[in-house]
Structures are given as structure tokens and as C-alpha cells.
Amino acid sequence: MKKMKKVMVVGVLCSLVSAATVFGGWSVATPGDPTAMATDGRLVKASNLGKEAAPQKIGGITYDVDYSNITNANPASHVWPEGKFYTGSDAAIFNLMNTGGLVSEWGPTVMTFTFSGLTVGHDYCFQLLLGGAWGGCSANLYGVKNEYQYVYFSNGSTPKLATFTWTADTASATIWTNAGKNQANHFNLAYALHDTSVPEPVTLLLLGFGGLLGLRRERI
């Protein structure tokens, strides 16, 4: 009986750590601020696509200023000092949301995000914060297998948060956005990629602590 209890405890913990969720495609929401980005799982990479001298931690995510995996990142190609997408008092959020890389039907028309070192079989969540130049602009988003999502900006002051989730079948992946004819401009502001098959460190600590408690109770 004691051995069976130990096996059950370990089995439950492993299930929590490695359980895979079936994902598929894009979803688009209108966030109040970038802290709405999910922080579930292990952060793989996140970047502020605007003007920033050093990494900033916002809403539990550290956004770096490394654009080596991005084509046409255009950091700070557009700056809105008056606060186009955010007018609050938090300086880090103000910068994150009010500086961005341009994607335009007049060029550059495409921005790509390429990731390597992914674990095959793991679930990943990519989130992109983006906004339109003015009301009536739109953007085309493409997932790792060119899964398509159209994003329309009904006004020029409300950003969108686009989420793409998938299960990796290769160790690398590319996600990209473009602007077609009559879509005008959109601005990619920031992104975050999480491996949701791997709990964040705090979750792992809690799981480990729970397992120790369970084993101690079994001994008692």
C-alpha cells in the first residue's frame, strides 16, 4: 500500500508537469495593457520591439532588446511621445506600447520571428502585441504552418493581442506578419513566447513541495 501511494504521488506530479494540451491556431483579443500577456509555462523569449536601452520586466515578463531572430524589427521606427496606445503613468509600459516596428504596404511589408531549440512534442504559446496606424488598417498574421489570421483595427488607438498556440513537431519555427495592398500600416510592439509544457519555476517549486508533503504524510 505504501509503495502504491508513492507511485500515485509521483505519477500525479509527472502528469501535471508533462500533460499536453491540444492547441490550434490564432485568437485575437483587445487587452487593456501588455500585462494581459499570458505568463503560463517557461519563458523562451520576449522582446520589446520599440525604443529601449535595456531589458524591462513588465507583468511578470522580461522583454529583451535582442532582435537577432527577427527580420525588419525596425526598433523605434515609430515613436508616439503623446501616448498612442497607452497614456498611463508607468514609464516601462508607456515605452513598450508607444514605440514599435513598422510593417507597411509601402515597405517593409513583412516581419518574421524565428525560433530554434524548441522541444518536439511541447506546447508553445506565442503572443504578439500590435496596433494600427489609424482606424481601418489591418494586418495579416501567419503561424508556423502558415495558419492565417486577419486582424482589423477599428480605430487607431486600440492595440490587439494576437495569440498563436501549437505543438512543436520540429525544433524550429517561424511566425510572421505582413501588410497587403490597401491595408496601410501596422506596428508590432512586443512579443512573448512561452513553452507551456514546462511549468514556470514557482509552479515547479510548489509541485515539488506538494510531493514532499504527500510522501511525508504517507510515512506518518
Helix H or strand E encompassing 78: strand 78-79
What confidence tens digit (pLDDT) does each residue in 98-109 have? 999 999 999 999
Degrees, nearest 5: CA angle 160-166-167:
160
* H-assigned helices in 122-200: none
Residues facing residue 197 across a β-bridge: none
Predicted confidence at residue 77, as pLDDT, reads 79
Average pLDDT, the chain: 84
Mean pLDDT, to the nearest integer, of 7-34? Answer: 57
Choice between 14 and 132, residue whose per-residue pLDDT is larger:
132
Grid coordinates given for 30 = 483587445
Structure confidence at residue 213 (pLDDT): 45
* pLDDT > 80? residue 83: yes
Predicted confidence (pLDDT) at residue 76 exceeds the cutoff of 80: no
Task: Give residue-wise pLDDT tens across range 129-160.
Answer: 999 999 999 999 999 999 999 999 999 999 99
pLDDT of residue 49: 92
